[in-house]
Structure 1
Amino acid sequence: MNRRIFLAGAAMAALSACSSKFRSYDGPRVTSIVVYKERRKLYLLHENQVLREFDFELGFAPVGHKKVEGDGRTPEGAYVIDRKNPNSSFHLSVGISYPNEADRAAAAALGLSPGGDIFIHGTPRLNRGDDDWTAGCIAVTNREIEDIYAMVDVGTPILIYP
């Protein structure tokens, strides 16, 4: 009986070690992220070399630059990765520094909030191929965000194009 309990515990420990969402990466440093919204392509680059390429889903209003909170758009422009969230509701996430000063000024001119909390994140459900669904974030699969989370450092520039 004790042997069975020990073996079951050892098997569970081994399986849980394999299923960790935290991966390691020891390749070339990611020096920038480039996103093409219309093409639905995200590239992790080391200088001019593409290290990884990902497909993604966007906000429920994918065309155009994010202007105000709740518009469902994904920002366009130059930002940086400003935080990593290991406790994301969307598996893992890396934060994008939206809004910048220009974004805040444009929203203020309209008398509205620019919003915030824009991330590259995983998904609580499998959506690949469905309509865009986020509130303005860039969504990849959970396995893909594990790789992105491991590869990208806070401070990495991200360029988001239409």
Structure 2
Amino acid sequence: MSRSVLTIILPLALLLQGQVGSRAETWAISAEDVSSVRVEKAARRLLLLDENGRPLRIINGIQLGGDPVGAKHFEGDERTPEGRYVIDYANPSSSYHLSLHISYPAPRDRAFAESLGASPGGQIFIHGQPNSLESGRMVGDWTDGCIALSNQEIEELWELVPDGTPIEIVN
């Protein structure tokens, strides 16, 4: 079997067997390959997708806001937003290793919160673990609405996800 056929078949076979997303994936991808990001909150996973919506990389075990069920509506609700946004800038000076900013709140989020006399909140990021944590990971869902990864995982995203990349966050 040719090498190019294996390059297509192996990731598909792994995906069907549920093996894609283990932290030991072996095929290389570049920033040019990544067209969008998808976060599946209930499945606790983040996917880097190609232009056809096929997964290039799956990161399992993401950590969310302290009250992860449902969409973010108000500042302080500890929920991670749901909807379509953009990764609009990278923050190398984050308190959480590295971070990628998500363009929440969108106008619809702001309008909903303001209709109820509340602030929608903001400062939602995909980020690593707290800089004060010497090693390992925090346990459980602990952010104020952000999406937390291991430091190694955010370093990989830092290289693969440029500003302007669309992100969809679903339950």
Give the shorter-chain TM-score range.
Answer: 0.7 to 0.9
TM-score using structure 2 length: 0.76
Percent identity of equivalent pairs: 53
2:137 matched to 1:127? yes
Among 38, 43, 51, which residue is 2:56 paired with? 51
2:153 matched to 1:144? yes
Q: Deviations over 1:97-132 (max 9, x none)?
A: 00000000001011011000000000023336x220
RMSD: 1.3
Runs of 4+ in 1 over 6 A off after TM superposition: none
Asked if 2 retains the 8 angstrom alpha-carbon contact of 1:32 and 1:158, the reply is yes
Q: Which residue in 1 is equivalent to 2:38?
A: 34
- CA shift, 1:67, in A, is 0.2
- CA shift, 1:28, in A, is 3.9
Three-state SS of the structure 2 residue aligned to 1:87 is coil
Asked if 1 retains the 8 angstrom alpha-carbon contact of 2:71 and 2:79, the reply is yes
Larger Rg: 1
2:121 matched to 1:112? no
Consecutive unaligned residues of structure 1, counting only runs of 5 or more, are: 1-24
Pair 1:107–1:141, CA change in 2 (3 A): same
Consecutive unaligned residues of structure 2, counting only runs of 5 or more, are: 1-28
Q: Kindly tell me the number of residue pairs found equivalent between the two proteins.
A: 137
Distance 2:30 2:45 in 1: 23
Distance 1:123 1:116 in 2: 19
2:62 matched to 1:62? no
2:84 matched to 1:78? yes
